[in-house]
Chain A
Amino acid sequence: MIDLVDVSKTYSKGQPAVKNANLHIDKGEFVFIVGNSGSGKSTLIKMLMKELDASSGTVMVDGINLRNMRRRQVAKYRRKLGVVFQDFRLLKDRNVYENVAFAQRVIGKPTRVIRKRVPEMLTLVGLAEKYKSRPKELSGGEQQRVALARALVNRPDILLADEPTGNLDPQNASEIMRLLEEINDRGTTVVVVTHNKEIVNAMKKRVVAMRKGVIISDEREGEYHYED
C-alpha cells in the first residue's frame, strides 16, 4: 500500500528532515510513527499527504509515484486519504453536520448521498446528537471525533493522523485511539504520527521510530522506548 524507498527531504536551509527512509506498509495495517519533535515524523506524513515533495527517493502509495504526480492529479490522490490533525482544523463558522458534509461537497457528492452518509459517520464517532453544535461548543475530544468523521466520510483507503491526541486528555485520547482501531478493523490502513508513549505502548501495534530524520527501528507489536 505504502512504499518509501531511500526517501530524503531537505528544506531549503539546514539539515535534512528525513534521511534515506525505507518503509513498507501493507494494506489494512495499523502503524505508529513515533519520535520526539524534530525527528522527521511529521515531514514523513506530509510527504504521504503530498503536502511536501521528497527531495530524493521514491514515495509510492497504492501504486502511484507521488514524485511524478501532476498537479491536477493531486486532488484525485488525496481523495484516497483521510487526514486528521492535532489542531482538528474544523471550520469554526459551520456546525458539526456541515463540517462533515463539507468533505463530501468538496468532492462533488450529491446532496442525497451526503444526507445519508453524514449521519452514519456521526453515529460511528458518537456525535449524532450534537450535529447542530458549532466546534467551539464541543470539547477537544469531541472536536477530534468530528475531524475523524470528516476524514472517514469519503471511505478513504488510508487514514493519516498527525498527532491526533496531542491536544486531548488521556481519556479522550484513548477514546480516539479506540475509534482508530475500529476503523482499522473495518479494513482501512491507519498511519498515526505521535509522541504519546502511553498510548503507543498500550495498543501493541507496529511502531516505526524516528530520530533526527532517520528510521531507527521498526517493530511489530512494538513499544515507544526511545528518548533523546
Chain B
Amino acid sequence: MRISTIVYELKQGFKNIVRNWMFSLASIVTMAACIFIFGIFYSIVTNVNHMVKGVEGDVSMTVFFEKDVGDAVMDDVGRRIQERPEVSEIKFVSAEEAWEGFQEQYFGDSKEAAEGFQDDNPLANSASYEVYVNQIEKQSDLVSYIESLEGVREVRHSESAVRTLGTFNRLIATISIAIIAILLVVAVFLISNTISTGITIRREEIGIMKLIGATDLFVRTPFLMEGIILGLIGAAIPLGMLFVMYNQVIAYTLEKFQVLDGILQFVPVGDIFRTLLPVGLILGMGIGFFGSLFTTRKHLKV
C-alpha cells in the first residue's frame, strides 16, 4: 500500500470517528474504564507481589535435630536443603551460638545471671539451620520435605503468615483477571458496535468502492484504523490519569496508615509504567483492532 493511500485511509478512519461521534465516545469511555481498572489491578498486584517478596526475604524456618545427632548427619541435611531451588539462604546455628543468642536476648547486660550455666550449655541439643525461602507458596512443601529427612526433629515455621500472603496474592490476581475479562468483552462488543454503525452509515460508499475495484483490504482499512485509534485514545486517557494518581495515592496511603510505614514498600511509578504503559497501549490497540476486524469480516462481504 502506498504512503498516500495509507494517509488517505487514516484520514477516513478519523472521519468515521467524528461522523459517528456518539458511539465513538461510548467506545472510548468503556475502553478507558477497562484499561483504568486493568491499570489499578496491575498496580495493586505488582505492589502486593513486591511486598510479599520483601516479606519472603524475612520469612524463615528453623530446623532442629534429634538428640545426639552427629555432625555428618547435620551436614548432610544442610546439603540436601541447600539443593532445593526454593531455598534462597541457609545458615547453620551451632548450640554455642544459640546459647549466646539466647543470653543476648534474655539476660542482656546482666550476663552474670547466666554464669551458672557456663560449663553446661542448656541448649546443647539445639544446633539448627535457619532456612530462608524465595517462594513463599512453596514453604509447605519444603517443610514436609525437611521433616522427612533423617535426623530432623522439628521444623518451626509460621504457617499463617505464609498462608495469608499467598492467599491474598492469589485472590487479587483472580479477581483482577475476572474483572478484566468481563471488561474486555464489553469493550470489544462496544467497539464492534461502533464500527458496525459506521459501516451502516457508509454502506452506499462501500458498495461504490467495491464496484470501482477496491480490494477488501482497502475497504476494511479505515475501519481497522478507526478501531485502533479508538483503542489508543481509550488507553492513553486512563494511563495518563493513573500516572498522575499513582504517587498521590501512595502518599495518601502512607499518611493515613503511618503504622504500616515500614511494611508498605511501594514500587516506584516508573517501574510500574515500564510495563503498564506498553501493555496498556497494546491492549487498547488490540481490542480496537480485533473488535473492528471481527465486525468488518462479518459486514463487508459485498
Contacts and interface: CB of A to CB of B under 8 A. Distances in A.
Are A and B physically bound partners?
A: yes
Contacts of A105: 5, 8
Given A89-B204, A91-B205, A106-B218, A111 B212 contact: no
Contact of B212 (A76, A78, A110): A78
Interface in A104-157: 105-108, 110-111, 150, 154
B213 A110 contact: no
Residue of A79, A83, A89, A106 contacting most chain B CB atoms (<10 Å)? A106
B118 interface: no
A49 B213 contact: no
Nearest to A156: B213
B204, B209, B216: which has the most chain A beta carbons within 10 Å? B209
Contacts of B204: 89, 91
A75 B210 contact: yes
B211 A78 contact: yes
Nearest to B7: A111
Given A89-B208, A91-B205, A110-B2, A76 B8 contact: no
Contacts of B210: 75, 78
User: What's the interface size class on A, roughly?
Assistant: 20 to 34
Contacts of A13: none
Interface in B41-89: none
Contacts of A77: 213
Contacts of A150: 212
A5 B210 CA distance: 26
A190 interface: no
Given A75-B216, A106-B218, A111 B4 contact: yes
Contacts, number: 52
A51 interface: yes
A152 B42 CA distance: 57
A110 B7 CA distance: 11
B56 to A, nearest CB: 57
Contacts of B215: 72, 75
A49 B210 CA distance: 10
A140 to B, nearest CB: 18
A103 interface: yes
Contacts of A76: 213
Given A51-B211, A78-B211, A83-B211, A108 B2 contact: yes
A107 B4 contact: no
Interface of B: 1-2, 4-5, 8, 204-205, 207-216, 218
Given A49-B211, A75-B210, A110-B2, 7 more contacts: A75-B214, A79-B212, A83-B211, A91-B204, A106-B213, A108-B2, A111-B4
11 contacts: A49-B211, A71-B216, A72-B216, A75-B218, A79-B212, A91-B205, A102-B212, A108-B1, A110-B4, A111-B4, A154-B213
Closest 7 CB pairs of A and B: A79-B213, A78-B213, A106-B214, A75-B215, A111-B4, A108-B5, A103-B212
